[in-house]
Amino acid sequence: MNYDNYKLATPDYFEDISNCCGSEYTETNEDYICNSCSNSCDVVTEYDYNEYKSDDLADLLINER
């Protein structure tokens, strides 16, 4: 990538999302609540969530063989 394309490239930005459904969450006093399924959840970046899902899919496909 040359310098001009580097300057014009959009920076990588990943939001924090819930690890169960990949949606937004609500922060309470003690933990986080997923807005999609209303269960308590952990917060991960969108990049990490996508990595977990792709790893799970790869494991599923390997186990089907």
- Residue 13: exposed, middle, or buried by beta-carbon count in 10 A (0-12, 13-18, 19+)? exposed
Provide the residue range defining the domain that includes 56: 18-63
Domain-embedded: residue 9: no
Give 3-62 pLDDT, tens digit per residue. 666 677 667 778 899 999 999 999 998 899 999 999 999 999 999 999 999 999 999 988
Q: 12 lies in a domain?
A: no
Domain tally, the chain: 1
pTM of the model: 0.70
Q: How many residues are recorded in the chain?
A: 65
